[in-house]
Structure 1
Amino acid sequence: MTVTVVSMPEVNIDRTDFAGARERMARESLLLVDVELAPEAEPVSLAARLGLDAEELDWFGRAGEPARADFLGDRAGFVVPVVQGDRIHHVHVLVTERFLATAHHARTGLAQQIAKGLRHERPADTVHMLFIVLQEALATFRLSAVRSLLETEELEDEMFEDRRADQLQSLARLRRRSAQLHHALLPFLQVTDAVLTRRMINPSFPEERQRCAREFQTAGRLVLADIESLQEATRRSFASYSSLVAGEQNGVINRLALVSVIFLPLSFLTGFFGMNFTFLTDKLESRDDFWLLAIGLQALVLLGSFYLLHRTRIWRRLLDED
């Protein structure tokens, strides 16, 4: 396990252990304590190791926790989804008036990202720091959605130039990605909206914190709209791909119909004169009969077929489609 402590207002980043983190949490204020848990580590009471209420905060640092947003009197707890690469991880966040503690089971680089935001924002208290953390989490969803949306649009443009089978696999991957982003973010926004709305109704909730809450809710809706735009773009691209395939199949069917117009009459003539009727075997014996019926009749049928194709302009439509 790795414990990182970010102190304000200087934004100093220090590595320490749990004993050092507990000591600094007891004597300092406006701290960010970030705990990176090893994936193979045995389940431990992270709250107890940080000197917190182990019974009430038994969820803090526990793997597999769903999205959470709870107001616990003098503190609040969150389980925040964060996008890292192709995966979505959950960061546990606990905020009080003195410190903000985060815990995660993957190398999300959250402490460094937040430290960069703190240098620009200079939060006045830990609640403001909390909203910076939540905004950073939303930024990872926004970045992933925009990148996937641009990739989807590029694939759609490539399909009209040169359709390939691997493009369908890429579209399926992007559609699954949009579903993952939506499935991870929507429950989190729903629970946070419920908690923040209740807090903003309270007259004792400071105006500055209400402003931060409204900004976060607005940003969350915008990110969710970006993800929904990605979902719509992937659906549209799948429809475009299906239309291209259908168009190619129509072209193949038209060509088969063209061949049928030419060769079906010839096949009929061949089958008819191949039957052993008495008239065919006894009466049609000369070479003139052969050239007239076998060759001349088939040539006449070919000329009629080509004239029919010319009059209906099927050739021209096929050339235009190509």
Structure 2
Amino acid sequence: MCLIRLTGGPMEQMHEASFPLARISSVRGVEELENGANLPKWLDSDDLFWIDIVGGEKPTQADLLQQLGLEDTDREWAQRFGQAGRITINREKLRAVTWLAKEANGGLTEIHLLRTRNFILTIWNGDAATLDGAMTGFAERVGQLKGTPYRAAAIVLQLLLGILEHAVSEIDGQLQATDVQFERNPTAIDFRSLSSRIQRLHTAWASIDRYSIAVKSATVGIEAMPGMDQRGAAELNDYAEQVEDVQHRLQERYRWGAEIIQHFATAIAQRQSEQISRLTVVSVIFLPITFLTGYFGMNFNWMIERVNNPVAFGLLGVLLPISSVVVTIVWFKRRGLM
């Protein structure tokens, strides 16, 4: 499948990178959107489709959103990133601010979803290939979704959530590998990198936790909403349960990671304590020698007068220090300190 940028107009030659990538998923499969002129045929048809817009600069995004016939409030909402996770459902449209997983660093990528008229729109920034599987999956299912727009929106939401679930499964492997490495050689673990990854995991969990609450609130009594089809309501309720499951999984992985960090900190503290104990033993062993050296050094004139033969020097200068060290070591061993 070939993915190309939106083309058209002289601006393309000046700054091609400013144009977003755009693809459409429908009963015909996943197609590239070559230029805005193709949109009217999609909008005028009865076919249900999903259009995905990735990257690009705001002016070119805005042109494409305007061609889709979006209202000013919807265009502004779609391009305003940095929002809290939420979902809004009414009889005319469905809006969602949710996330995809970043494979590179374990963080989250914000993605906006809008269901209105006969299409579902997603707009975000990142690697378009991330949604290849989801768009193909939608194309395979969309034939059964005609006349159930809310069900179609719920299916897209579930496909997006599936990408996040896959990332959580990869986190399991990473934590398991870290746990095994900790058991074998705790000092080989990069504590700063591990802490950074666990912090990102905590941020992801907190974001999904708030989003889960918003989804549950939005789907309360959804069956009774005017214009809501029952199958759509069922899919949205399933989606709410799936989001809650992902939230619980992230929470468990964060706790697992936090335990690894705690064990790592405990192991480091224990190792430092052992090193301090060894240094203390060594200093105590040589403390008598330090005392003798200081004592005789302060009484140097007395030593000159009294230590005037090899026997006295051997007793006071050699045998006494060695004896003090031996006695100290024997005492430590009997007390179980060595």
Of 59, 71, 87, the match for 2:89: 71
Shift of 1:46: 4.4
Residue in 2 that maps onto 1:318: none
| Structure 1 residue identity aligned to 2:79 | R
SS of 2:79 mapped into structure 1:
coil
**Residue of structure 2 in register with 1:5 after alignment:** 24
CA distance in structure 1 between the partners assigned to 2:175 and 2:267 by the alignment: 16
- Which residue identity is paired with 1:234? G
1:73 partner letter: R
Unaligned runs of 5+ in 2: 1-19
**Matched residue type, 1:6:** S
- 1:22 equivalent in alignment to 2:45: no
Alignment match of 1:299 (pick from 316, 322, 327): 322
Distance 1:41 1:165 in 2: 49
Report the residue type matching 1:105 in the other structure: N
Partner Cα separation in structure 1 for residue 30 and residue 264 of structure 2: 53
Q: Is the 8 A contact 1:25 1:31 kept in 2?
A: no
Indicate whether 1:238 and 2:258 are aligned.
no
Mapped to 2, the partners of 1:263 and 1:7 lie a distance apart of 83
2:25 and 2:139 in contact (8 A); partners too: no
Task: Identify the residue that residue 92 of structure 1 maps to in structure 2.
Answer: 112
Residue 139 of structure 1 is aligned with which of 151, 162, 175?
162
Match of 2:74 in 1: 57
Change over 3 Å in CA distance of 1:33–1:286 after alignment to 2: closer
3-state secondary structure, aligned to 2:114: strand
TM-score, normalising length from structure 2? 0.80
Alpha-carbon distance in structure 2 between the residues aligned to 1:256 and 1:56: 69
Q: Counterpart of 1:119?
A: 140
Percent sequence identity is 17
CA distance in 2, matches of 1:91, 1:141: 12
Report the secondary structure of 2:244's partner residue.
helix
Q: Report deviation, 1:292.
A: 2.6
Following the alignment from structure 1 to structure 2, what is the Cα–Cα distance between the partners of residues 93 and 6? Answer: 14
TM-score, normalised to structure 1, is 0.84
Cα deviation, 1:59-87, whole Å, max 9, x if unaligned, reads 35314251342234322222221124235
| Contact map agreement 1:94 1:102 (CA 8 A) in 2 | yes
Output the aligned Cα RMSD: 2.8
Whichever residue aligns with residue 35 of structure 2, its letter is D
Measured at CA, do residues 50 and 198 of structure 1 come closer, stay the same or move farther in structure 2, by a change above 3 Å? same
Give the 5 Å matches for 1:174-213.
Answer: 174-200=197-223, 202=225, 205-213=228-236
Contact 1:2 1:17 in 2 (8 A): no
> Secondary structure of 2:178's partner?
helix
3-state DSSP of counterpart to 1:255? helix
Q: Which amino acid is the alignment partner of residue 68 of structure 2?
A: L
Distance across 2 between alignment mates of 1:307 and 1:82: 65
Segment drifting more, 284-293 vs 171-180: 284-293
Structure 1: where are the runs of 5+ without partners?
316-322
Q: State how far apart, in whole Å, the 2-side matches of 1:173 and 1:223 are.
A: 21
Aligned to 1:57, what secondary structure does the other structure show?
helix
CA distance in 2, matches of 1:282, 1:31: 108
Residue 225 of structure 1: aligned partner? 248
Partner of 1:61, secondary structure, is helix
Kept in 1, the 8 Å contact 2:26–2:139? The answer is no
